Structure 1
Amino acid sequence: MPAALAVAAGILVTAPVLGAALLAHRVRRAELVASAPLREWTDRPADGPGAAPSADALVVFAGRADANGPTAELRARLDHSLYLWRLGVAPIVMVSGGVADDIDEVEAMTSYLVEGGVPEDAVVPVRPGDNTRASLRALGACGDGRYVAVSSPYHAFRIRSEARRRRLRLIVSTPPSTPETRHRATHRSLLACEALAVLWYALPETWTRRVDTGPGSLRHVLPHVLSGRRRPRALIDCLRRSS
């Protein structure tokens, strides 16, 4: 009996660890796929390795913005969307984001894209966009279409998984790297947190809606604290704001 209990305890301990490691590997693999050159949609033959799809819209997922505009990470996403827009991948750019510290991410993203040459009437806000799930829910309400989602590499797997759950016709394209993925400790923390976020999204939406995961929330602060780029005090400040 003690041996059986030891085996059972070992399984209970190792199974979650192995499961988390496997999920983190899938998140990392999705990074590599999303950061590769765009190919045609899966139901159409590709013309070549760099063939771009014909989409109805690009959809840029927000990162942080401050009083000076989009942060470096968000600029990397926006610059990639500008690159795709100039290639003619899609005629419009949809921007999704929330409001943190009185900074409207959608407004900051719109200004950046217009300065980059996109006509103002070709930039379409997607609201509410406080988190990935809310953004894709709002996108689904826009009607059937073909979309190219643009974000950071580590975000690709969760976007793709949630889009499939909502039966959206969407592929993900990311820059090859961003400031956060070039910082190894931050990148590792983000991959781990993304694996947890994927598990979180597997829960019923009626549960997850009750927890704030929008801009400036614990979910966005934690990876930077774990990597040492922000002080632990940031977690306390974050919890105080949400209380």
Structure 2
Amino acid sequence: MAEVSHDEPRPVRRFLRRLLIGVLLVGFLVVGGTSFRVWQVARGDDRASADVVLVLGAAQYGGTPSKVLEARLRHAKNLYDEGVAPYIVTTGGNQPGDTYTEATAGVRWLTEHGVPEDHVIPIGKGNDTLGSIEAAAEEIHGRGWRSVVIVSDPWHSLRARTMASDAGLEARTSPTHSGPIVQTRQTQIRYILYETAALLYYRATKASADNIGVPGNVGADK
């Protein structure tokens, strides 16, 4: 009977160990690199001229924007006043029982603060980032426009820009730097981690991660 060698499995174990280490290293680099890009884009502010300023929706209450949405609208108005774009597009649908959509609440706030009503375009569709951007892109393309400056929270900017680019828009970002989401270091870290996971999920599935029970839902009072 031939003697069984106990050394034969060792190369297999060595290969599997190296493979596991390689997979973990690649995963770390992908996650770490994505987190860095989320942080990097969050710190940017591209105010080059565009066709429209695109405001992503957040919660509203009876037509009154939440603090998160108000911060975005105020920033969009500043961009409009600076001449970055001649129109503002507001986005976001409504929850069951709501009289106003996030988009119409945005129009209401902007017109009350001096933006002419015919320069604000509400797109009251979509209850997550992807749905809102796709609905807005359809309207923007239909008007013969293409370039947008997206206004949202800093950590949300890279994912929103990625989705807008995939929808055929020339997208830049000018995030807000005020409001509840940017007030504490713990909040910032939490949203960077969430947006890293949500962006990787979108890139893998082309679906939104906004409605899976974690922070970042475009319709939530984040």
Bin of the TM-score, shorter chain as denominator length: 0.7 to 0.9
Q: For residue 44 of structure 2, give the secondary structure of its aligned residue in structure 1.
A: helix
Aligned residue number for residue 137 of structure 1: 134
Q: For residue 90 of structure 1, give the secondary structure of its aligned residue in structure 2.
A: coil
What aligned pairs does 1:27-176 form with structure 2 within 5 A after superposition?
A: 27-34=38-45, 38=47, 40=48, 53=49, 55-67=50-62, 69-100=64-95, 102-103=97-98, 104-142=101-139, 143=141, 144-145=144-145, 146-176=147-177
| Preserved CA contact (<8 Å) 2:63 2:108 | no
Q: Per-residue CA shift, 1:202-237, capped at 9, x if unaligned?
A: 2344xx37x7x35xx614379xxxxxxx9xxxxxxx
Q: Per-residue CA shift, 1:134-165, capped at 9, x if unaligned?
A: 22222222214222211111111112212222
Task: Report percent identity of matched pairs.
Answer: 26
Q: 1:122 to 1:221 in 2, by over 3 A?
A: closer
Aligned residue number for residue 226 of structure 1: none
Supply the distance in 2 between the matched residues of 1:116 and 1:102 (Cα, whole angstroms): 27
Alpha-carbon shift at residue 166 of structure 1 (Å): 2.5
| Preserved CA contact (<8 Å) 1:97 1:130 | yes
Unpaired runs of at least 5, structure 2: 1-9
Alpha-carbon shift at residue 14 of structure 1 (Å): 3.6
| Preserved CA contact (<8 Å) 1:153 1:177 | no
| Preserved CA contact (<8 Å) 2:191 2:216 | no
Aligned residue number for residue 45 of structure 1: none
Aligned residue number for residue 198 of structure 1: 199
| Preserved CA contact (<8 Å) 1:148 1:170 | yes
Alpha-carbon shift at residue 19 of structure 1 (Å): 1.5
* TM-score in terms of structure 1 length: 0.73
Unpaired runs of at least 5, structure 1: 41-52, 223-229, 231-243
Supply the distance in 1 between the matched residues of 2:81 and 2:137 (Cα, whole angstroms): 25
Q: 1:221 to 1:94 in 2, by over 3 A?
A: closer
| Preserved CA contact (<8 Å) 2:89 2:123 | yes
* TM-score in terms of structure 2 length: 0.79
| Preserved CA contact (<8 Å) 1:96 1:135 | yes
Q: Per-residue CA shift, 1:88-112, capped at 9, x if unaligned?
A: 2222211001213634212222211
Aligned residue number for residue 238 of structure 1: none
Alpha-carbon shift at residue 26 of structure 1 (Å): 0.6
Structure possessing the higher radius of gyration over alpha carbons: 2
Aligned residue number for residue 32 of structure 2: 21
Q: Per-residue CA shift, 1:70-103, capped at 9, x if unaligned?
A: 1212111111011111122222211001213634
Supply the distance in 1 between the matched residues of 2:138 and 2:184 (Cα, whole angstroms): 36
Q: For residue 100 of structure 1, give the secondary structure of its aligned residue in structure 2.
A: coil
Q: For residue 147 of structure 1, give the secondary structure of its aligned residue in structure 2.
A: strand
RMSD: 2.5
Alpha-carbon shift at residue 168 of structure 1 (Å): 0.9
Matched to 2:75, the amino acid is H
